[in-house]
């Protein structure tokens, strides 16, 4: 029963956390639209491979990370800058052959799995997200982490991330197929504006948390 509870709690937190539109989901959508489900699956495996290390690390050292205010401050600030860089990157891609996804071909020619590894490694906001959640779940006794029990929780989180991301990718693909304007303005307008808004929201949280 404890094992199942760990899996269920991990799945729920990770599934809901992966649904909000983020750059990992956007790139997954672009890869799926251009190269199909096989490359998407390789990409998602790369993403959750790195996420497994983030989750395990924050699970074991949750208390230490939460108490290290300087580290959390640096991570939060870098996260804001990274969102702005992403906004510019997607906007700059709009000058290339977006319709043919040529800008992705040179990367996928190496490996979608490696793209997933690289982009997931750059997702700095995973650290405060999982440190906060893991500390909350442990202190609230929602999960047990003794011995092998932590690995059931870890398995649940990875399944949740995979399910949430692939579900959102399919939703975005379906939306782009049925809405011409969505597909036309996704990369040059919608995505950059979304990341700018996200950066301002995150920036406000950082200001309120550390400078207010």
pTM of the shown model:
0.73
- Find the largest Cα–Cα distance for the chain: 54
Mean pLDDT for 89-104 is 54
Query: pLDDT band at residue 145, thresholds of 50, 70 and 90?
Result: confident
Instruction: Specify the DSSP element, H or E, that contains 77.
Output: helix 69-93
pLDDT of amino acid 155: 95
- Give the torsion through C-alpha atoms of 153, 42, 129, 127, to 10 deg: 100
Contacts of 196 (CB under 8 A, 6+ apart): 83, 84, 87
Query: pLDDT band at residue 158, thresholds of 50, 70 and 90?
Result: very high
Mean pLDDT for 59-80 is 72
Domain containing 96: what range? 2-211
- Count of domains forming the chain: 1
pLDDT of amino acid 147: 80
Contacts of 200 (CB under 8 A, 6+ apart): none
- Judged against a pLDDT cut of 70, whether residue 187 lies above it is answered with no
Mean pLDDT for 161-177 is 87
What's the mean pLDDT when you consider all of the chain? 79
- Judged against a pLDDT cut of 50, whether residue 97 lies above it is answered with no
């Amino acid at each position: 029963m404890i094992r199942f509870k760990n899996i269920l709690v991990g799945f729920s937190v990770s599934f809901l956390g992966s649904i909000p539109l983020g750059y990992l989901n956007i790139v997954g959508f672009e890869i799926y639209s251009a190269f199909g489900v096989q490359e998407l699956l390789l990409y998602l495996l790369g993403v959750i491979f790195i996420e497994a290390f983030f989750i395990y690390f924050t699970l074991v050292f949750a208390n230490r990370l939460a108490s290290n205010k300087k580290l959390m401050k640096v991570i939060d600030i870098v996260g804001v800058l990274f969102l702005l860089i992403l906004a510019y990157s997607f906007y700059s891609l709009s000058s290339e052959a977006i319709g043919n996804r040529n800008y992705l071909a040179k990367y996928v020619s190496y490996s979608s799995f490696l793209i997933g590894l690289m982009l997931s490694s750059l997702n700095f906001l995973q650290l405060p997200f999982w440190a906060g959640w893991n500390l909350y779940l442990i202190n609230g006794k929602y999960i047990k982490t003794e011995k092998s029990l932590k690995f059931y929780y870890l398995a649940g989180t990875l399944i949740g991330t995979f399910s949430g991301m692939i579900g959102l990718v399919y939703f975005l693909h379906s939306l782009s197929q049925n809405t011409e304007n969505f597909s036309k303005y996704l990369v040059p307008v919608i995505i950059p504006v979304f990341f700018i808004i996200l950066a301002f929201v995150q920036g406000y949280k950082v200001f309120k948390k550390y400078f207010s």
